[in-house]
Amino acid sequence: MATRNETAGHVASFCSRLAPHLLLLVLLLASVGCNCELVRNIYYSVPTNQMRLTKAPETPVAVVSDFVDKRSGHVKGSPYLDLWLVPYVTFEFPQFFKKPAERGTYAPYEPSEQCPLLSDQFKTMLKRHLETKGIFRFPKLDAPLSPEMSPLFEISGVIHKVTARVHYSLFGLGLVPGLVPLGGLISYVDCRYVVDVALECRDINGQVIAKQFITGTTKRAIAGSIPALTKPAYLRLRPLQDFLRPQIEDFARQIHDVLESKGKSYWQDLIAKRNAQYAGRTASNRVAVIGLRPISVGEALAERLARVVRNTIAGLQRGVMSRNDMVSKLGTEPPPNCDTPALWEEMGRKLGASELVVGTVEKRNGEYIVMLKLIDVGSLRPVNIITESCQSASELERTTSAAAKRLLLAAQH
């Protein structure tokens, strides 16, 4: 029978052999538990104090044009490996990419309303801020067409740099300056966001109203496997939103102060020019969006997307007929399926349109597919055909608007 000392020796020997395996198991569990979940929308809250333009005859309509992204691109690789192997690395969260990340590389998700690209983030923040302030109102994609909803101002931007300089700490070993080792199966990322963005606001006469250069480095942000520090997901972006809010507030203040100093003649001139531009666009080169034929979707959805197409075309400075104008000229609703040369000729003649847009919206195997055709009434032939698809109904308006832009812009070249 083995003595007590021999038993203790066997146990110690077994433990010593088992220790490397336990360490590998601990490392594996830590790697699996490392919270590298994608960051969703920037949780951008705006101040509530108003800056309404008391001298303006109406709350001006503005549009935010696409931001020009002049960054060189994004880091390629795996954040799981990069952050584990390199203690200090420049890292970009998915919505900071210049272009959508390839599936299977950095981000498993395509940009969406929940995880948009940075250019869309800036547009959302600017609209939310300036609209809450009462300075501008922004037309919705499905808003009725009218001169009053045509823009008097345009806001644009250039993104030179927005990224995150990251320092990674494994198991709370104290690799991050200023943080006490936390011990246990904990890994976390300490980063600062580097921002370099230029904003500009112009009126329809081309006069620059305000400029704002947003440059600098934010306060520290933390992300990792510590729920209290990283839940909800937008917490890791809070230093960025805290940095951006006063910058956008300064931009809003500039716009307000300049426009508040303008006299009555300035506003009369802008409104007269806007009305003339709207009348000119609708009088010549008129585009009639007949509608989208619904396939396995509701008619209300198809009508809403047809309105999105009309407003998108109007935003491209093209004359487009409203639905009421078409009903007034036809004496009835446009036909739901206008996809024959005979109908194109009839619709073009009755409406006095030079071009028609027809198409379909279909739900197939859980995917939404939008198809648009641009028809030249003179030749009765399609000038361009665009097909776009998306995975959810929440993305349909954005997808349809993108298809309408491609439809007209590609036809111009």
Q: Are residues 293 and 407 in the same domain?
A: yes
Q: Are residues 198 and 323 in the same domain?
A: no
Domains in the chain, number: 2
Q: Are residues 242 and 300 in the same domain?
A: no
Question: CA nearest 251: which of 141, 336, 126, 347?
Answer: 126
Tell me the CATH number at 295: 3.40.50.10070
Q: Are residues 321 and 383 in the same domain?
A: yes
Q: Are residues 49 and 78 in the same domain?
A: yes
Which of 237, 265, 293 is the endpoint of a domain? 265
Tell me the C-alpha to C-alpha distance, in Å, between residue 123 and each of 98, 127, 154, 215, 344. Answer: 15, 6, 12, 17, 38
The reply to whether 27 falls in a domain is: no
Q: Are residues 180 and 227 in the same domain?
A: yes
State the residue range of the domain holding 405.
284-412
Q: Are residues 107 and 217 in the same domain?
A: yes
Which of 209, 233, 265 is the endpoint of a domain? 265
Q: Are residues 176 and 261 in the same domain?
A: yes
The reply to whether 260 falls in a domain is: yes
Question: CA nearest 394: which of 36, 37, 119, 41?
Answer: 41
Q: Work out whether the CA dihedral 102, 106, 108, 111 comes out positive or negative.
A: negative
Q: How many CA atoms lie within 13 A of 29 on its CB side?
A: 10
Identify the pLDDT of residue 339: 83
The reply to whether 185 falls in a domain is: yes
| Residue 342 CB partners (closer than 8 Å, separation 6+) | none
Identify the pLDDT of residue 77: 47
Identify the pLDDT of residue 149: 79
Strands 62-64 and 153-170: parallel
Tell me the C-alpha to C-alpha distance, in Å, between residue 180 and each of 168, 183, 188. Answer: 14, 9, 12
Q: Are residues 213 and 338 in the same domain?
A: no
Strands 221-224 and 187-203: antiparallel
Question: CA nearest 368: which of 400, 342, 392, 343?
Answer: 392
The reply to whether 14 falls in a domain is: no
d(CA 159, CA 198): 7
Q: Are residues 288 and 261 in the same domain?
A: no
Q: What is the 3-state secondary structure (H, E, C) of the chain?
A: CCCHHHHHHHHHHHHHHHHHHHHHHHHHHHHHHCCCCCCCCCCCCCCCCCCCCCCCCCCCEEEECCCEECCCCCCCCCHHHHHHHCCEEEECCHHHCCCCCCCCCCCCCCCCCCCCCHHHHHHHHHHHHHHHHCCCECCCCCCCCCHHHCCCEEEEEEEEEEEEEEEEEECCCCCCCCCCCCCCCCEEEEEEEEEEEEEEEEECCCCEEEEEEEEEECCCEEEECCHHHHCCHHHHHHHHHHHHHHHHHHHHHHHHHHHHCCCHHHHHHHHHHHHHHHHHHHHCCCEEEEEEEEECCCHHHHHHHHHHHHHHHHHCCCCECCHHHHHHHHCCCCCCCCCCHHHHHHHHHHHCCCEEEEEEEEEECCEEEEEEEEEECCCCEEEEEEEEEECCHHHHHHHHHHHHHHHHHHHHC
Q: Are residues 131 and 224 in the same domain?
A: yes
The reply to whether 277 falls in a domain is: no
Q: Are residues 250 and 297 in the same domain?
A: no
Q: How many CA atoms lie within 13 A of 55 on its CB side?
A: 13
Each residue's pLDDT, cut to its tens digit, for the chain (413 residues) gives 455 555 555 545 655 666 555 555 544 433 333 344 445 556 677 777 889 999 999 899 998 887 888 877 655 545 555 545 555 555 565 566 676 655 544 444 455 666 677 787 888 889 999 999 999 998 876 566 677 778 899 999 999 888 777 666 554 444 444 344 444 345 556 678 888 999 999 999 999 999 999 999 988 776 554 555 445 555 667 788 889 999 999 999 999 999 999 999 999 999 999 888 877 766 656 888 988 999 999 888 898 899 899 888 887 777 788 888 888 888 888 887 788 888 888 888 888 888 999 999 999 888 899 999 999 888 888 889 999 988 888 788 888 998 998 888 765 65
Identify the pLDDT of residue 21: 59
Which of 208, 231, 265 is the endpoint of a domain? 265
The reply to whether 75 falls in a domain is: yes
Identify the pLDDT of residue 247: 94
d(CA 286, CA 17): 82
Number of Cβ within a 10 Å radius of residue 55: 12
The reply to whether 18 falls in a domain is: no
The reply to whether 30 falls in a domain is: no
